[in-house]
Structure 1
Amino acid sequence: MTAHPASSDPSRRVALITGAAQGIGEAIAQRLIADGDIAVLLDIAPTVEDTAARIGAADAVRVDIRDIPALQAAVHDVATRFGRLDVLVNCAGTCGRESFEELSPATWQRDIDTNLTAMAFACQAAVFPHMKEQGSGRLVNIASVSGKVGGIGPVDSAGGGGRSGAAYASAKAGAINLTRWIARQVGVWGITANAVAPGPIASPMAAGAEYGVSRTPIPRMGEPSEVAGAVAYLVGPDSSYTTGTCLHVDGGYVLA
């Protein structure tokens, strides 16, 4: 297998970001590139190649992350072609907004598979063998304050009102605890695992939803770049003794 040309610079870290075709994932990729990292974007969207070209990413990979064998093959391929894998950011996600009464098994399975199951097996593929053999690595899982408060957004008498749905909230709560579980195992190999829990962020996923941000301590929607800043800290040198944490980027939403 031919190595990617960017892999010839050992001073630059290789970062793989899932869900990076737009929104928060794209902002994370842009920030890591600005910080000097080699970024590879992974997304199911056909626009991921255009995004990679526009922001200066090293490569783009189209994969449905719910196809676990294909996802893990993609992670291994990136690590092999670039000669290493230093950072994995799991940002891909889906968010159903049905009320609990209207929740379907299909929506439940989609949101669990996308937001939690794929995250687990992407981390597995990154750690074994690549990060473990390197003796270093940073895993960052994008969770949500939905996983802390049981969905964000207003609640009407029917339990809907555009609030992030039960499957999404359940998956994001699982993502936070999955991150803690992984952190307890991988630290001995020089790997950290942390989560970031965004609150109401002005991204495509949030389009059309009402979050009631006027009641939060910082009364506005957050920006994808603000989530990217938190990720940059967690993959940077200043967080070398930080693992198993969940960093809220929510304007104080969980306090309101």
Structure 2
Amino acid sequence: MTLPMQGQVSIVTGAARGIGFAVAQELARQGSHVVIVDIIDGADSAAEIERDAGGGVRAIAKVADVRSPEQVQAVVDQTVEELGRLDVLVNNAGTVGRIDLESMDDETWERDLATNLRGTYLFTKAAIYPHMRDAGYGRVVNVSSISGIMGGPFAAGDGGGRSGPAYAASKGGVIAFTKWVAKEVGELGITVNTVAPGPIATPMTDAMTYSFDAQAIKRMGTPEDIAGAVGYLASPRTGFVTGETLKVCGGAAIG
């Protein structure tokens, strides 16, 4: 049986653990070779993905800072050199500050904007030009957040506040950037979409408890919930879907 992404090559950022790891695992299960990019070493994660895929799929770990143009370009160039092509980019790497506006410091503001928005811009540009453009095909999936839609929903209970204004601004920017690029590259055979998670159980949220009063589905989401949505948008079967934001939030952002 031919898998839907068999022989394709995908880059997933922030993929050594959490949502990014689940996404890379999902794409590998669909037959794609995957390049795991993270600021920490993802070699063990890459090995696990290869074992799980059961043969025929390569998983390669690259250590890089998504805020660095030189490191981003090096990852893209090395991917094409080692695997021969680049079909899918998933911009997942992110940071989240939970500092309110009154207490906000420049370091937190710049960190969230640089990682979440600048990193998405840098990788998207490097992947599309020239590789996806020249191939006449590509899937870019950006991981935003319902904070970028709702401005940091009142979802958090004990253990910390809601996501801060820098995070909300950066994730809202990702959504706007996605729409702009989608309009620019649609005629090139490239789709660009966003997945907007709600509260997801990852190491980033381990120290927090959440209220689910505003959610239709009253539980934390899982990395696999997000991976399923990304896998759909990354598939060759979604060639007529672009510029969209798919909310995966248990109904917290209905409307």
* TM-score, length basis structure 2: 0.91
Provide the residue aligned with 2:194 in structure 1: 195
Distance 1:153 1:211, change over 3 A: farther
How far apart, CA to CA, are the structure 2 residues paired with 1:91 and 1:161?
Answer: 22
Pick one of 26, 36, 46 that aligns with 1:52.
46
Q: Secondary structure at the match of 1:42?
A: strand
Whether the 8 Å contact between 1:116 and 1:175 is mirrored in structure 2 is yes
Indicate yes or no: 2:103 matched with 1:95.
no
> Quick one: percent identity of the two aligned structures?
46
Indicate yes or no: 2:79 matched with 1:84.
no
Provide the residue aligned with 2:118 in structure 1: 117
How far apart, CA to CA, are the structure 1 residues paired with 2:215 and 2:155?
Answer: 13
Whether the 8 Å contact between 2:6 and 2:32 is mirrored in structure 1 is no
Whether the 8 Å contact between 1:97 and 1:164 is mirrored in structure 2 is yes
Whether the 8 Å contact between 2:39 and 2:64 is mirrored in structure 1 is yes
Give the CA deviation at 1:214. 3.7
Whether the 8 Å contact between 2:146 and 2:249 is mirrored in structure 1 is yes
Corresponding letter in the other structure for 1:227:
I
Whether the 8 Å contact between 2:156 and 2:209 is mirrored in structure 1 is no
Corresponding letter in the other structure for 2:152:
G
How far apart, CA to CA, are the structure 2 residues paired with 1:153 and 1:23?
Answer: 23
Whether the 8 Å contact between 1:192 and 1:243 is mirrored in structure 2 is yes
Give the CA deviation at 1:80. 2.3
Corresponding letter in the other structure for 2:177:
L
Matches within 5 A, 1:1-256: 11-46=6-41, 48-56=42-50, 57-154=58-155, 161-255=160-254
How far apart, CA to CA, are the structure 2 residues paired with 1:53 and 1:13?
Answer: 18
Whether the 8 Å contact between 1:214 and 1:220 is mirrored in structure 2 is no
Q: Secondary structure at the match of 2:172?
A: helix
Corresponding letter in the other structure for 2:75:
A
How far apart, CA to CA, are the structure 2 residues paired with 1:207 and 1:36?
Answer: 31
How far apart, CA to CA, are the structure 1 residues paired with 2:227 and 2:155?
Answer: 26
How far apart, CA to CA, are the structure 2 residues paired with 1:209 and 1:153?
Answer: 13
Corresponding letter in the other structure for 2:230:
V
How big is each residue's C-alpha offset from its partner over 1:14-37, in whole Å with a ceiling of 9 and x where there is no partner?
Answer: 000000000000000111111111
How far apart, CA to CA, are the structure 1 residues paired with 2:194 and 2:30?
Answer: 20
Whether the 8 Å contact between 2:49 and 2:59 is mirrored in structure 1 is no
Whether the 8 Å contact between 1:76 and 1:126 is mirrored in structure 2 is no
Give the CA deviation at 1:210. 3.2
Corresponding letter in the other structure for 2:93:
A
Give the CA deviation at 1:154. 4.4
Gaps in structure 1 of 5+ consecutive residues: 1-9
Whether the 8 Å contact between 1:200 and 1:213 is mirrored in structure 2 is no
Q: How many residues end up aligned between the 2 structures?
A: 243
Provide the residue aligned with 1:7 in structure 2: none
Q: Secondary structure at the match of 1:100?
A: coil
Corresponding letter in the other structure for 1:32:
L
Whether the 8 Å contact between 1:15 and 1:87 is mirrored in structure 2 is yes
How big is each residue's C-alpha offset from its partner over 1:147-172, in whole Å with a ceiling of 9 and x where there is no partner?
Answer: 0111134479xxx9510111011000
Give the CA deviation at 1:211. 2.9
Corresponding letter in the other structure for 1:76:
D
How big is each residue's C-alpha offset from its partner over 1:74-120, in whole Å with a ceiling of 9 and x where there is no partner?
Answer: 11221222111000000000001012111110000000000000100
Q: Secondary structure at the match of 1:253?
A: coil
